[in-house]
Chains A and B, each alone.
Chain A
Amino acid sequence: KAGVTQTPRYLIKTRGQQVTLSCSPISGHRSVSWYQQTPGQGLQFLFEYFSETQRNKGNFPGRFSGRQFSNSRSEMNVSTLELGDSALYLCASTNGQGQETQYFGPGTRLLVL
């Protein structure tokens, strides 16, 4: 089975721009979770989508949003980028039933200038 894939792998944006990141889960997985990883804050949960619905949400401002498509692929969007949004954004997938192991993608590294 192919693993979790994320595109793009690297991205450079300037303050005020918006960005969209994509995550394709493992085939058959219906849940996708997004995390932000920074040196200062570590790994922080952004949100989780299951069957096209947001099921859990972390403590991030409304500039961070996401969605999930019928094929379980997920996108996250960050509007009005700030310097502090520079981070590695990781997505993880499970089949969404109970507390199973999350399988992570390689991440998208976002640099905001």
Chain B
Amino acid sequence: AQSVTQLGSHVSVSEGALVLLRCNYSSSVPPYLFWYVQYPNQGLQLLLKYTSAATLVKGINGFEAEFKKSETSFHLTKPSAHMSDAAEYFCAVTPSSGNTPLVFGKGTRLSVIA
């Protein structure tokens, strides 16, 4: 079975500061990992995904995440926050094979302060 823990339901950063959103996963088989972003009154948009190729994954809008198997982590970072990054971010896991559903974390709301 898979599970995801996102540390911090709410993270607040200043504009221009580093963004770090934490995600730890549990999986009994090699995982695929995803980060999605949700803006108010919208669906989920894929930021980036890890599918067992490079451990450092670059996504849209300047975000990246590093898969660390030893730490079972897939933290999301962005060097410099922008006001438009304010949204809710979800980490998700699924086994790397088969056709099983995504399991999502509870989400982290990112606020960016001017």
A48 in contact with B101 given A101-B34, A101-B49, A104-B44 (CB within 8 Å):
yes
Flag if B99 contacts A107 (CB, 8 Å): no
Flag if A90 contacts B44 (CB, 8 Å): yes
For residue B44, which residues in chain A have a CB less than 8 angstroms away from its CB? Answer: 90, 92, 104
For residue B51, which residues in chain A have a CB less than 8 angstroms away from its CB? Answer: 99
For the complex, count residues of B whose C-beta is within 8 A of A: 26
A101 in contact with B46 given A43-B90, A45-B102 (CB within 8 Å):
yes
Flag if A104 contacts B95 (CB, 8 Å): no
Flag if A45 contacts B99 (CB, 8 Å): no
A50 in contact with B99 given A106-B42, A106-B43 (CB within 8 Å):
yes
Flag if A99 contacts B104 (CB, 8 Å): no
Beyond the given pairs A99-B98, A99-B100, 20 more chain A to chain B contacts, judged by CB atoms under 8 angstroms and listed by A's residue number, are: A6-B43, A33-B102, A42-B105, A42-B106, A43-B90, A43-B107, A45-B102, A90-B43, A92-B44, A96-B99, A99-B51, A99-B95, A99-B97, A101-B49, A102-B46, A104-B36, A104-B44, A105-B43, A106-B43, A107-B43
